[in-house]
Amino acid sequence: MATSSTLEQYITAPLKLALGQTLTGVFYHDVAEKQWLTTNFQGTDIIAQQVELIFGSGLRLYCGWDTVKEWSQYSLCVSQQSFCLEAIVFTASPDYWQQRIGKPLTSYSVYGYKESTWHTAGGSVERVHLNEPHLIVLHFDSSLVAVANYTAEEDFHPRFPFGDDVWILFEQVEIEEHIQRLGFDKLEA
């Protein structure tokens, strides 16, 4: 079972490295070219693989889904190493990122489930996951952005708290809606 040390290793330790550093660039890693980006043009982008954040010191953080033994198959992770073996990489649209570029990462919050139980088709307990993250809120001064892992939805309303797509959310109201809709807990490592 995952402990808070798993959360520390796969989420908070890499983010701590970026605290106080200025965001200088953002790239999306996807399976399709930029013109095919899944976006609602209202503050939500959905990509297939990962978001690459570049900071002033040269630090690169990759936020996306990976497989962590103690969590479900598609686990939200942050790493200094790319999760992708093959991807189309393109610069994220400045429309929403421009408010964050040039600003320092001042804090972050992690949301998911303190405990979740997965059942087999017969109803018996298959696995219990502890401290499993599904959404990270990054604060750049007074601007924020969230990165989450869900399955892509045509109406941009998440139905499941896991999946093989990465959602980037720029609107605070929408971020709060996702947290409430999916019943996330605030996680501490």
Q: What mean pLDDT is reported for the chain?
A: 90
Confidence of residue 18 (pLDDT cuts 50, 70, 90): very high
pLDDT of 118 reads 64
Can you tell me the distance from the alpha carbon of 147 to that of 163, in angstroms, rounded to the nearest whole number?
A: 13
Can you tell me the distance from the alpha carbon of 174 to that of 149, in angstroms, rounded to the nearest whole number?
A: 15
User: What is the per-residue pLDDT across 83-138, written as a single tens digit (0 to 9) for each?
Assistant: 988 899 999 988 899 999 999 999 999 999 887 776 556 666 666 767 889 999 99
pLDDT of 1 reads 41
- Give the mean pLDDT of 49-77: 91
Residue 52 confidence (pLDDT) above 70 = yes
Can you tell me the distance from the alpha carbon of 148 to that of 66, in angstroms, rounded to the nearest whole number?
A: 12
CA 50 vs. chain centroid, Å, equals: 8
Can you tell me the distance from the alpha carbon of 43 to that of 145, in angstroms, rounded to the nearest whole number?
A: 10
